[in-house]
Chains A and B, each alone.
Chain A
Amino acid sequence: MTTLSPPRRGSAPAHPPPRYRRPLGLTRESWLQYGVLLLLAVLVLAPVVPTLYQSFLDRPLYEAGGVLGAGNYVRLFTEAGFGRVVLNTALFAGLTTVLSLLIAVPMAVIVVRTKLPGGRVFAAAMQWPFFISSLILGFGWITMYGPAGFVSVEVRRVLGFLPWDLYTIPGMALTEAVALAPIVYTFCANALRQSDASLEAAAQVCGAGPLRVLRSVILPLLRPPVVYSSILVISMSVETLSVPLLFGQPVGIDVFSTFLYRNGLQSINPDYGVLGAASAIILVVTITLVALQAKLLKNAQRFVSVRGKATRPRPLDLGWLKWISAAAIAFYVVMGALIPIGGLVFRSFTQVFTPLQSPFKSLTGDNYERIFTYPVYVQSIVNSLLVAAIGAVLVSVLSLAAVMVARRSSFRFGRAVEYLALAPQAMPGIIVGIGLFWALAFAPFGLGSLLQGTLWVLIIGFGLRALPSGFGSISPSIMQIGRELDNAARVSGADWVRTFTRILAALLRPAFAGALILTFVTLLKEYSPAVFLASADTNIIGTTMLELWVQGNTGSVAALASLQIAITATFVGLAGLLLKGRHQKADDNA
């Protein structure tokens, strides 16, 4: 403390801060922030605006001389029979929601709050939908429980009849509920883990038994996550394509997504007006649901009782009931996911798959061979990987930029950036497909013909759908980084851009890696926008599977599905190892 240099008095600063360039009078951060806003606005509005426009136009929007009017909406409900579709969708969504709540809520309570044999395994098992797309699950269910499914045939042989029919609205709803139950489970389990365990302790001290505690303390706590996840499940089952397409289409049960699929793709002369009107109505429904969801989540956060003090929850003991609970949960996991997926994988190695003849007799590699001998099928795998890889990088970068602007800048339209980044939640994949298809017809500078039929269109469409998950995975991490770290950099002379490159980029690396993995897997599973956007050269695994399915080539569908699951699992495993290795290295450095 003796080496003090005398301060300079009244002179210019010894080390003046740098001057940052201001192209056209705007700082670099303004350029960047407006850029992100503009890009997001274009991406989000590109599919929406042409759809709305088309819905009021009396002819395809690329034809000249269109007249605006509400004729399409009238035709939609008269000629096209949209009323029936609305009813089906409501039934399907409602039933799906009820069933997924029935499966997931008791499961969450039992796994998180009671002593359950194998509780950890069950908690981990609930993550299966991360690896398996609903399309593949649909294939699996049909393979096992469909009219000619493996299990169905056996049951019919034993009982003489089949007590269920998958190709009905309840059958569709059950399958969809099995696929969506983990979402409800996640919300409820998180709420239960975060809630204050001393609330239960207080009830126990007052003399309440385990069941009483469950009924009077735990279940009321679950109201917010139940309401929230119900809305989420409703909006997801309103927009889903896979199960209705595979189960409902053969027997003529139409819901929103399959209505669009049939009218847009399968009719020889598609009525674009009706298609537009239907899309517009569906968009209104999904946007309302997502808005409701956002509002509820905001309110729900007030209910969450998070304390700084960590009280270790003491799990309740249910006695003999716990064995029944464990069996019930095991039943869900095994029958819902394990058997269909396992069966599908097994199917991919056999010629004929029926209990009437031991499948081991017809073991074969033919299904895989077919895929690898036809270049179009190989191409679709390559395409899927390309779309997922390039898309994951682009989406993660855009998500990171959007999070930075929305959460870590004084940008005037920061809130708008957040809404735009989350808006695709309300856009069903098939509508993104139709909308982008129309948007390409509209695009200026010949951009449309440049992009049409390329992988880039798929990357845009899929990426748009994955954007909310990218944003959602990075945003919490950035909130955990104290704002004073940014402020310290700003005061030290770094502008907004440099604060990011020098400080936040390094701190956000793990979150960015997480977003990359998440979006890669999401993009690999995605297919619905491609139904309208893919050309013969740009088929991806999902569209190829649908094609093969229609041709009745179920063995190859099973093979492709198995490949997709294998790719996902390998990627997640490798990424996990890589991240873990990095963490250890970082710890060694520290």
Chain B
Amino acid sequence: MRARRRPRPLPAREQVLGRRAPGNGFLHRSPAGLKVAMLALFTALVLVAREPVVSAGGVVLVLLTALAAQVPLRMLLALLRRLWLLLVVLAALQLLLNDPLTGAEVLSRILATLLAAQLLILTTAPAELVAVLRVLLAPLRVLGLEPGRVALAALVMLRSIPFLADQFRMAGRQAAARGLERNLKARTLPLLLGAVEHARDTGRALSARGIDQV
């Protein structure tokens, strides 16, 4: 008898904010503004240098920082599991269009910046990040934009990513249940309608609570 194919595991739910690394290392304790500034500096450096040694060194630096700050590497690298397809496509494109060395440099550059950003998210409370965002957006007041409003919009956007991922999965299952696995419309239209409905419900709930900024 032929061995049965292994059942497909259920993917874990996506989560952008709100998943903090346990513990209280030095990164957990340092102020959010400083961490954001360091991240910006680090990213700028890696992007400007465009040197394989700098980029690869950046990846190593991020990993070492994580270890020193007692952040489990497993949580940091979970990012790769989410983005592997994108990274594979990028790698393939680079190999096709460029030489391997440039490809490795581009990939390590992307990895270094993404992992550094993930490290920030893992060690900072979302509320602190929002506070930093508000400070950064403060100059927009000149243009008549309320920083608190923009921050709320950003927060709602981040909040809806996992929701949309759920909806996408559900739309896929609903399509499959009707035998429409390969029908693009059946897989995307419910997602679109669900997104609009979710946006409307969120807006209503916020305005019922009288909240228009954070």
Q: Real complex partners, A and B?
A: no
